[in-house]
Structure 1
């Protein structure tokens, strides 16, 4: 007899994904105070289905954060662009979306968790995912060799934290990404 649990039924997997998508939108719209009832309403599932998938609000928030980190890391391997620098820049833009979108989820998690919780330890995974992109761009002479990926991610995070709308921050991000190229290039 196998030692592992049976795979989730296709409809259960769809429900879980639908809940995560609805929760992501609900937290983006309503902030960290978004209720489980609102998530259930938006996802079109009953409270029992919601709680069968995520026993608590905290568990749902952790799953949202982990899902986003997985998506950003996976994007590093599939990002498109005509040059190594363009692929790195496209991935950094995806990372910027992650940073700006995760704020309500992180704030909700912080209500019941401290920052030492492993759920917040995504930086190492991001660095590992993006490092090949940076190395390729630096080897091609398209990105300044003096910069580490940690420094670049810190720059993107700092821009994401600037007060104002996305329309206000976008040109700042564009200027910063343009500034990654070697001096005099």
Structure 2
């Protein structure tokens, strides 16, 4: 995980503070963009500014940690779906998880894109990109091997699709619901038998 504090073992209280800061930062960045107040994040986490800066010496290190933490959580969800659902259901449920996160975090994404100073986080964080692409690829491969989705799709295309849907519906009334509806339409096109009834995987 990004951040110097994550590269060495932490005491239990330090780990709790670290996790509180990450949770507060994720919500603050989603609400207010990449320039969200670090002091506000510290207050939301219930820690002092010195504690925040001890764990995350710079805004950039905190942004990197938030991205990495979310990617790890999404990859864990992919494994959970693979264990508990059939191949196509696992893939489509996970795409809805990814879509929900993209919708929840679009304030941060839009801020990065428009501000430009840290926009490379979206493109140059190779570890996160590899992790999320591998998770998508494994689910897609299982669904293809089971004959439940059309052949010839690529994991990278699925990630671009979800990102594009999030950006396309940003600012619309009921944007999260619109994103889910559009993703369901795309999912119907992915199926090897598109006429099959689409389950509400976003529920």
- TM-score grouping bracket, smaller chain normalisation: 0.7 to 0.9
Q: TM-score, normalised by structure 2?
A: 0.78
Preserved contact between residue 148 and residue 193 of structure 2 (Cα < 8 Å): no
Cα distance between partner residues in 2 of 1:43 and 1:14: 10
Quick check: 1:162 aligned with 2:168? yes
Preserved contact between residue 30 and residue 104 of structure 2 (Cα < 8 Å): yes
Per-residue Cα deviation, 1:8-36 (whole angstroms, up to 9, x for no partner): 10000000000110111112222233100
In 2 relative to 1, CA 114–89 (structure 1 residues): closer, same or farther, beyond 3 Å? Answer: closer
2:10 corresponds in structure 1 to: 8
Preserved contact between residue 99 and residue 180 of structure 2 (Cα < 8 Å): no
Radius of gyration: which is bigger? Answer: 1
Secondary structure at 1:32's aligned position in 2?
Answer: coil
Runs of 4+ in 1 over 4 A off after TM superposition: 108-111
Quick check: 1:177 aligned with 2:187? yes
Cα distance between partner residues in 2 of 1:7 and 1:170: 40
Alignment RMSD (CA, Å): 2.4
> Structure 2 stretches of 5 or more lacking a match?
1-6, 196-203
Q: TM-score, normalised by structure 1?
A: 0.85
Preserved contact between residue 26 and residue 34 of structure 1 (Cα < 8 Å): yes
Instruction: Pick which of 86-95 and 144-153 moved more.
Output: 144-153
1:97 corresponds in structure 2 to: 100
Preserved contact between residue 84 and residue 136 of structure 1 (Cα < 8 Å): yes
1:152 is displaced (CA, Å) by 2.1
Aligned length: 181
In 2 relative to 1, CA 184–111 (structure 1 residues): closer, same or farther, beyond 3 Å? Answer: closer
Instruction: Pick which of 77-86 and 173-182 moved more.
Output: 77-86
Cα distance between partner residues in 1 of 2:63 and 2:182: 30
1:176 is displaced (CA, Å) by 1.1
In 2 relative to 1, CA 184–38 (structure 1 residues): closer, same or farther, beyond 3 Å? Answer: closer
> Structure 1 stretches of 5 or more lacking a match?
none
Preserved contact between residue 31 and residue 108 of structure 2 (Cα < 8 Å): no
